[in-house]
Structure 1
């Protein structure tokens, strides 16, 4: 039941095969059983059950609100949720309860979706592994898949050894783990440089980054206002389209949203791709790209070509400057956004009373981790009067060149770009944390970040399992506001590759085995 698509579970609810309350209870129970994944920061059990009861009454009266009515979802903990703690995984906001819902959250609730809780992330979404949270790192459910465990045995690791589990990617790793572990049917993430697509690729999910301006950012606690986009994580492309159909459209509270009417995002079945032109950016053969990832990328290109699509090599010449550009623009906007957390109006406040300046400094030292403080310091340096033209202004000019690269390619007749999403499959935690946050982010967002610079839509589609038995995903990029066409092609690709998702019972068996092992270990330590 928990492995069904949105359409399938909606049909089951309408036919009375399961009630909204029963479905909600199943998900809540599974969240408890898989709590060692650390996917959730807050589980809103009481509110979720109340919403489920309301949904149940609507179904009894034949007054369902739509396809999402009664379906459990989760939301990354940097979206404001009325009456539910919103922390951004930071001491600065621990205990903060917003008085309002983010627009995307409200739209989901208006359609009857059940909000199970808030998911874990890198503090203030600054990271690419979901390992820099005050609540601890998120574990990838694929760490417990049968395929991966068997590969570990072959490499002479103990089957129950858990000292080096896999990261989820970030910063929306909690949302990715929640969906991948079947605790919810869809989840919201945020995507500033790849933070939805990156964990989707490592967790075997569809991860959609919509066109900038298609979905409201109101109520999303900002990282980089000019690049932030609410993202969608699901187990299939159709589900992503259903959620996007609910979220997309103008919001008077967000002046950057599109004024024109959009949707409906109903995906036709694409049978003929012979009229498509797929571009392969040569600059994406980047240092660090695993040979296995490169092979699967070329295999996917061959698949398109074998079905009649035109596949051409293209050039995005300023790609190599994207990460450097981002590492200037991101801290600059972070410095501006984080200035609001001063200990006066909301959030953490220290007990230093020597002076206002001392209170500011102590509050921010206690409230932010090293990563956030480092970006604030860098951003303020780039924004100094004597540095502004040399850093911030030049970075903005490079950003325009990056956007122009994409525009030229799409104007040349290319419909979509096909690229890797990540350099490789999921990395073991102990290996991942050897590098600092800044270095990790620059490496892991290399294929995704420039899309945010240009404001384009992109989606990760799971393609295959690596030699380690772990998910590998590829990215499709489209021109601005081609989201429906992008998802239509993604759905075709998904049908061709038939990615093997973790079977629910298999996941549960392995999770239960680990949980029992962990309990026994804790008993022996006592």
Structure 2
């Protein structure tokens, strides 16, 4: 294993500063690794010229003792539904396979301003509609933890839709990656790949330049191997943005996490929502859940069971609202202004129809049709309006439990460890999302921050993660508890996986 790969971001930049490492060398290694691990199908587009140029500029800043900050020279990856200037942004779709934005998403621009090095754009389910990173025009992304990476259909899925970003981090190619999270699309793959995945409070991080899926739930997400690294990325990208009216207007106060030994959780109230102990939850995930609850209680943290009675309805409400907003957002892709255009000139209506038929896969088309059905005048009240009302009740569950009983909720992230690809695709996208997103999507419905951290390996040698949620804008408390647990369990993604030994092609 290359000696720099398992360092934290802060350690890497310290090495840059003292000259023991160089941004150009680290970027060269990252590009080399991405080539050697190309069979995992992590990237939709590598950007070696951009990366080497940014790394060269970073190296010069360190030589002149003028680095931009704690991310200067750090290789990162960005999910391919964030606009990147002069770099193709496809959403893993035929519709946008040749779309080259003229601007950077705010998240991307802030990272570049901080000196981060863009290694490439990562694979996803088409337009973010999925929980496996299997529905992409570039093919599925493979989980590095798979027992069998070469036999057709026998590899493990990575989760989705930010699967490429999760594997970029899990393999050590990048130190951090940006994903998006609409119903768990950052936390789900993070759990399956043994990394940290974070969804901030809605409005804390700008959505400008994130190609929308569900405007009322989408947030940029962060994937790293350590909670400290996550905090550095969050400090860089969070805060108000004049280009996004949904962001909070007050300035973001950077989070400075103490050392694990200095984190005091004795006054933190932990809630265990009983509704998350649901059908389909594996014994091993349940066991990990109980172990961490017991660990927290052993440190005098208050741990108690709580009730969130509308949890069981949440996945149905999420599905309805998701498809309604999808049907609205996808209307912009008509073959006229940008994106794929069909070879059709008989009429405008035929052009629209053929363009959309060719440009969208079955999953996207199904969600558009279903959303339009829910929004028909005769169905609007029975589906969309009622779903909005139940969403309010779900949010009220969170508001009540945080205001009256607990500071942080501890739940599973996924029901099981990572499924086999062949088993996953044997069920429909809709059915898989209903299962895979059960524990994660309520946080998006309520807009609260949530994080998943790796806890242990299953009997199959696959990662198991657990999720923490807290009230709006309580990221600091959430990350402190997450870091405390991380320090206690001692899970190391790269050492456990040994990817630079037996598993590298």
Query: Could you give the per-residue CA deviations for residues 459-483 of structure 1, whole angstroms, max 9, x where no partner exists?
Result: 0010111111110000000000001
Three-state SS of the structure 1 residue aligned to 2:349 is helix
Conserved? CA contact 2:451–2:468, under 8 Å = yes
For 1:320 and 1:85, locate their aligned partners in 2 and report how far apart those are by CA, in whole Å: 40
Conserved? CA contact 2:159–2:418, under 8 Å = yes
Q: Offset of 1:511 from its aligned partner?
A: 2.8
For 2:263 and 2:53, locate their aligned partners in 1 and report how far apart those are by CA, in whole Å: 43
Q: Offset of 1:279 from its aligned partner?
A: 0.4
- Give 1:211-360 correspondences, 5 Å limit: 211-269=201-259, 270-360=262-352
- Aligned-residue CA RMSD (Å): 1.3
Matched, 1:117 2:109: no
TM-score (norm: length of structure 2): 0.97
For 2:31 and 2:458, locate their aligned partners in 1 and report how far apart those are by CA, in whole Å: 31
Matched, 1:12 2:15: yes
Matched, 1:198 2:201: no
Query: Could you give the per-residue CA deviations for residues 86-141 of structure 1, whole angstroms, max 9, x where no partner exists?
Result: 00000000011000000000000000000011000000000000000000000011
Conserved? CA contact 2:6–2:494, under 8 Å = no
Query: Could you give the per-residue CA deviations for residues 367-426 of structure 1, whole angstroms, max 9, x where no partner exists?
Result: 000000000001111111121111111100000000000111011130100000000101
Q: Offset of 1:506 from its aligned partner?
A: 2.6
For 1:160 and 1:187, locate their aligned partners in 2 and report how far apart those are by CA, in whole Å: 26
Conserved? CA contact 1:464–1:500, under 8 Å = no
Q: Offset of 1:261 from its aligned partner?
A: 1.5
Number of residues of Structure 1 aligned to a counterpart in Structure 2: 500
Q: Offset of 1:271 from its aligned partner?
A: 3.5
Match of 1:45 in 2: 48
For 2:496 and 2:20, locate their aligned partners in 1 and report how far apart those are by CA, in whole Å: 19
- Give 1:446-525 correspondences, 5 Å limit: 446-503=438-495, 506-512=498-504, 515=505
Three-state SS of the structure 2 residue aligned to 1:419 is strand
- Give 1:45-444 correspondences, 5 Å limit: 45-143=48-146, 148=147, 163-269=153-259, 270-444=262-436
Q: Offset of 1:268 from its aligned partner?
A: 2.2
Conserved? CA contact 1:420–1:475, under 8 Å = yes
Conserved? CA contact 2:77–2:122, under 8 Å = yes
Gaps of 5+ in 2: none
Conserved? CA contact 1:75–1:189, under 8 Å = yes
Three-state SS of the structure 1 residue aligned to 2:452 is strand
Three-state SS of the structure 2 residue aligned to 1:325 is helix
Conserved? CA contact 1:182–1:504, under 8 Å = no
Gaps of 5+ in 1: 150-158, 516-526
TM-score (norm: length of structure 1): 0.93
